Structure 1
């Protein structure tokens, strides 16, 4: 047997495979039954075996089995289409022609979609190789089928079909007739989009073939169809619909009609989801369910429409009229994740990633990070984090997304925790070496001060002075020239209180502890006497005393106060550390710090940009500054203008105004 005979014998062996494949083709084309998952996998396997048969056989070219399958598929489709064409060509009535065309087109189109899915291996391997070798007549299976329909069915009746569409629309058709005409127009757009000749864009082809009235009808119906699909819960046809709708209507991407429809729909969905959210997880899910929904997946090929989803998320999370602060909600949820044991580390990391993804939509990302730093520090002081590695993971995620400049304070806080543990261990060894015992449990948490916390000026009671004095001595030996002080606002402890009929463990901050210890030496005290002995003001003490009087722990004796020795409670452990004692609102202080930090960041950004570009128009500078700072916050135009004026008025300015709206860098 010579080489040619062996090759023929090998191809005869493909006949059995083709017969099995034909059964699947008959199912989708004749019986019009789509593949289920099992059938799709089986058909894909047959296609794979068909394409890879004899790949390692020197008697057969590696591309020949794929060619055999492709030609058989083409012939199978041609045979079916020729039968359809023979039936349609004899129809003379306009409405009947439209009806019959749609009757055959719809099942054929759906069958081709199924076939294309099953021929994925053929498309991605054999077809791709043929196209690489410049065989321009070879196309993906779906496009090949569309070309065959155009040649066999559409071309013989194209004039009659165009005339039928025009005449029906002029007769003010009913909804059913309009629907049929629209289906025909959609098929024609799809045929134009898959045509072998792509020199002329699809919109031009439509305008060349149809009247302005027909093209206008197609566009209005397409908008209505998009709205119908968007409002439904079934988006399986949306990807295909948009693919060809955007080819025929490029103004969809550039205009506002599709975007307006989409925006109204998803904004309402998001608003409803947020209104039902009870906590941080629900709030996060409301956004993530929209961002990773079937609708979003269907829109992925159209970046302009996907951007609408992001815009809705941005508008919603930054809206001014919200009942709850999104930054506070997300930080509370982060705190919940960090302080409660999670089902798995992987699940926790995925949840943290989702939080960072949502933070990206905030205009004030730096404010979120500032509040996160505050809550992180509280967790470290209270030792409530389940694992330090989780904290490190969150900071890494934030750094990766927003940069080191935005998160350096968080990274420093983790480093300070490590240093504080070293100091704590050293202090314990120091006390042991000197055989010092305080008579109470003194748990040191030493965090280097950044000047960001208010601190009450307080004379520590004698019971605590020894511990403070010893630590001052120890720390100054290690850090010569550095100053350290106890933060009476952040520090806290527990005291055992023995009353007439009960004993309680009181959880108190340092100020409260100092107040209570005064009553070890005095039976009753006035508020002025307390203030003098503690070296603080009555305004600081008043809220604490009012709270204790309200719960009955302290009682009045004329102008003085004394401990209620008959005080009782069902709880043995009482948390009294609930009263804010700062004279200035922490929110005001944080806002002041944040505003100052933004001023410095703005000034630095303006100078960096001007140094790079030398000369810029005002509008150019503003756009570049916003882009530069978007990972920290979205600055307002007025704020940018204000900082530019400040830089211009400096004694030795870095920039100068050359014209009314042009700036130059001063080198």
Structure 2
């Protein structure tokens, strides 16, 4: 047993020594293959040769591992042998890549500007692709020896593809980075100046900055390098430090100077158009060849230089654009100012002042006529509101702050203006009264009635003004009084329109606000049914009243207070009322009817103007007089 152990130890040592002695032979074949990979001869790298190189790595690294699998009791010695085998091959690969990269650096070291970018981009693309091929050849080394080193926390060992990137960064990029970044920024400035450039080269070089950001101290990040995934936050470290920071600074300097030069002779409106164009260009630039992570910091830098620092200019121009109704330019200003912190504050204040001023000016023009012309008064208010409601909707996209400015201004000029002040003691309620009278004009029967859709639009307009009326109780008082007269005297143009407006008021102010109006409509419907039943009753009982009688039973406390009329009724008419009273009491025991003769009316036929016959609609006191 002892002899066998001794033999085994001798065999293991011999295995290590054999592998060590053969590394030069193995590396000779591998270096020839690497020359093919890295020196632009990949066309000669067919599948058979690729597998031959992979097998060389596999056979060399696996010889000690195989021996270890056969002799478990000497695993520590075999592990040490495997460590030596892996380390030696790893160091030879590292030296090869470094020599190759240093040679490339020396070859391009004298180039500057666009010529340097072209050369750098070409060499980088070739090197990166070649390193991916190399990584495949050394995949067995990655999966075994390198993986074990990484698992054990060795921060000086990298996956072979990561190793290649690290060597490029240390031995070439860090030596030329300032010149390469200078060339990038110069080329980007040329494009900003309107000169056509090759964006493909810029994009490729910038991508190299991202790829070189692999974190050499984070083993888990090394696998990312193999896939080429550039989304990791850590991978942007090199990109941000050596490109983005300088790019942002250069951008601020460029546009600060351009803005100052432009505004020396150009108008604010033309400047806004220029800024819009530049913002679009930079956004496209970011999408075309600059990493998307730069989108936000670039936008912030542009907004600071082109908008934030020029806010006072925009604010001073805003009033003039409002006066001239330059809605397109106002929309442009809004889109720019809303991009910066508190950029809209002064514009909202200016809009409120302007709308209030315009509202007062328009009402001042019609004060004398509008004082007793509700339609003119309301239409003047709507003219101003609709003009600026359209502006806020289209130019300012109904931004809440601008909507609030419109509301405040409308409340101002609707509730206190030259018409309301003319009312003196009733100034606070004048707008409420005029709006209620306007509603009465819309809903009352007339020779020219609007179409249903047109009337509904008019009622919507009423609600626009109603929204701003401060004393809505006064409006309700006037409206209810006029509504009751329309119902009692059958002067309502449309029951549907009446109900529609009541529903709109309910939505705005709640159920309680319109409860009496709703009850009044209910009373009218019940009265119609009651009169029908009364006629049927008279017919069934054979009673001929001699009068076509229509009676409205109105709920006390719901309808406006109406003055009584103390008169002696004609016997025939009094008999009709007594008959109805008896009929009503049979159906509603305990209720008391109080006749409101002051609100009653009748039709009287006149036959004294022969041969013509006339029909007069008169009040009850007129009937008694006749």
TM-score by length of 2: 0.50
TM-score by length of 1: 0.47
Q: Which has the larger radius of gyration?
A: 2
